[in-house]
């Protein structure tokens, strides 16, 4: 006995459920047998069956016929339909070909549609990727076009936030010492303002608009005015090189960055309050170190103070103390320290003029109770 392939399908017609009744299809020469379990429910000649594409994406094959005005249909899934076509008799084969053509066209359109949807879905990602890839050049382009009035507003925002976190020391030895160091370091065309924040954290930061804030905790840790001068020269370099403004622009997010590129600077000033928490890249820190050393040499201040102060910061951390804030916002990597030490070694002999500040008196004033 020749074994005939059987094909699972679902029957729709009188007496079937909404989802169709499971049946099996078997070809016997020119006759199609429809069986439910072991019961034969229909036996049809091939010419009585009308094929059509059905289902999602036209992937299913439907076979339809009419008996006594009752409409019947069996549906094969896409996998069974392909095998069913291969063993169908010639009387049905030629009518199955247009159905197969419809299914192939639908499948091609479906694939093209999926590809198009994928491209459309990826366009925003690609655009975001391009913006991120060019974030640094775009930020630089934006920063070069930000007017001084906006930088001044950012500086004002920084001062307001600093005052909200704790008062500023505006008189006394610490204040005067910082102004003396600042005047020596500032160039004749620079408009810089120096402030001592009455805060114990060892930190300092610079804001756009020429604002430089040094915490009392940093001044208390220093052993000399030259060490503070090294830190101050580094911070002034950040102002000169507009590192803070550039980092703010990059950190503000893509939407704000695009607004800035279009000349809308209204959202930028509000970011000034977060400036003290921003971290500069290692390249920016190395650049500020190099420019700061040049500024110290130009001001005839001992340039080794910066290196000594960073070594002191590391000794505080190594002794089990908390990480100084100035290190958390200004990462002192091994690479950066090595570059700083190499630069100090390569400096020519420097004519040094003392700053003339009695640093023990500054530290004593900071340790004394203040009203």
- Please state, in angstroms and rounded to a whole number, the distance separating the CA atoms of residues 369 and 306: 29
pLDDT of residue 13: 87
- Please state, in angstroms and rounded to a whole number, the distance separating the CA atoms of residues 209 and 154: 7
Residue 332's nearest CA partner among 309, 301, 361 is 309
Joined together, the tokens standing for residue 89 give 């008799």
pLDDT of residue 100: 78
What b-and-e string marks burial along 349-364, b requiring 16 or more CB atoms within 10 Å of the CB? eeeeeebebebeebbe
What burial class does residue 178 get, using C-beta atoms within 10 Å of its C-beta: 0-12 exposed, 13-18 middle, 19+ buried? Answer: buried
pLDDT of residue 229: 92
pLDDT of residue 362: 92
pLDDT of residue 227: 92
Measure CA of the first residue to CA of the last residue in the chain; give whole Å: 111
Q: What is the pLDDT along the chain (371 residues), one digit of tens a residue?
A: 556 788 888 888 887 777 788 889 998 888 889 998 888 888 988 888 888 888 767 778 888 989 888 899 988 887 788 888 888 888 787 788 887 787 778 767 767 766 666 666 555 555 445 455 555 666 666 667 677 777 777 777 777 777 777 788 889 999 999 999 999 998 888 888 999 988 888 888 888 888 898 999 999 988 999 999 999 999 898 888 888 777 777 766 555 555 555 555 555 555 555 555 567 777 788 888 888 888 898 889 988 888 888 788 777 655 444 545 555 556 666 777 778 788 878 877 778 898 989 999 999 998 876 65
- Please state, in angstroms and rounded to a whole number, the distance separating the CA atoms of residues 295 and 212: 15
Phi, psi of 152 (to 5 degrees): -65, -40
pLDDT of residue 219: 92
In the chain the domains, ranked by start, together with CATH numbers, are 6-107 (2.30.29.30), 135-367 (no CATH)
- Please state, in angstroms and rounded to a whole number, the distance separating the CA atoms of residues 85 and 94: 10
Joined together, the tokens standing for residue 256 give 């704000």
- Please state, in angstroms and rounded to a whole number, the distance separating the CA atoms of residues 114 and 255: 29
Residues in the chain: 371
Strands (E), 162-298: 168-169, 193-197, 204-207, 211-215
What burial class does residue 89 get, using C-beta atoms within 10 Å of its C-beta: 0-12 exposed, 13-18 middle, 19+ buried? Answer: middle
pLDDT of residue 358: 92
- Please state, in angstroms and rounded to a whole number, the distance separating the CA atoms of residues 294 and 233: 9
């Amino acid at each position: 006995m020749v074994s005939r392939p059987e094909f699972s399908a679902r029957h729709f017609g009188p007496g079937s459920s909404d989802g169709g009744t499971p049946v099996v299809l078997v070809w016997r020469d020119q006759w199609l047998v429809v069986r439910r379990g072991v019961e034969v429910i229909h036996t049809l000649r091939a010419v009585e069956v009308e094929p059509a594409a059905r289902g999602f994406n036209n992937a299913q094959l439907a076979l339809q016929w009419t008996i006594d005005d009752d409409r019947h249909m069996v549906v094969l899934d896409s996998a069974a339909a392909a095998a069913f076509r291969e063993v169908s008799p010639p009387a049905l084969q030629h009518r199955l070909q247009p159905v197969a053509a419809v299914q192939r066209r639908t499948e091609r359109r479906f694939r093209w549609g999926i590809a198009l949807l994928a491209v459309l879905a990826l366009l925003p990602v690609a655009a975001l990727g391009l913006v991120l890839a060019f974030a640094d050049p775009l930020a630089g382009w934006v920063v070069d076009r930000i007017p001084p009035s906006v930088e001044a507003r950012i500086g004002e925002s920084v001062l307001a936030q600093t005052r909200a976190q704790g008062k500023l020391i505006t008189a006394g030895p610490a204040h005067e010492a910082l102004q003396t160091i600042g005047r020596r370091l500032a160039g004749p065309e620079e408009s810089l303002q120096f402030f001592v924040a009455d805060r114990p954290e060892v930190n300092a930061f610079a804001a756009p608009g020429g604002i430089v804030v040094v915490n009392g905790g940093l001044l208390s840790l220093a052993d000399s005015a030259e060490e503070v001068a090294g830190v101050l020269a580094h911070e002034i370099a950040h102002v000169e090189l507009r590192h803070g403004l550039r980092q703010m622009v990059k950190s503000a997010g893509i939407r704000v960055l695009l607004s800035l590129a279009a000349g809308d600077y209204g959202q930028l000033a509000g970011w000034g309050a977060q400036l003290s928490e921003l971290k500069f890249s290692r390249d920016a820190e190395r650049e500020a170190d190099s420019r700061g050393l040049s500024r110290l040499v130009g001001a005839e201040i001992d340039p080794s103070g910066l290196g000594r102060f960073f070594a002191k910061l590391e000794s505080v951390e190594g002794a089990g103390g908390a990480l100084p804030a100035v290190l958390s916002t200004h990462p002192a990597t091994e690479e950066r320290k090595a570059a700083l030490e190499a630069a100090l070694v390569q400096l020519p002999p420097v004519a040094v003029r003392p700053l003339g500040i009695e640093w023990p008196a500054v530290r004593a004033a900071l340790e004394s109770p203040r009203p």
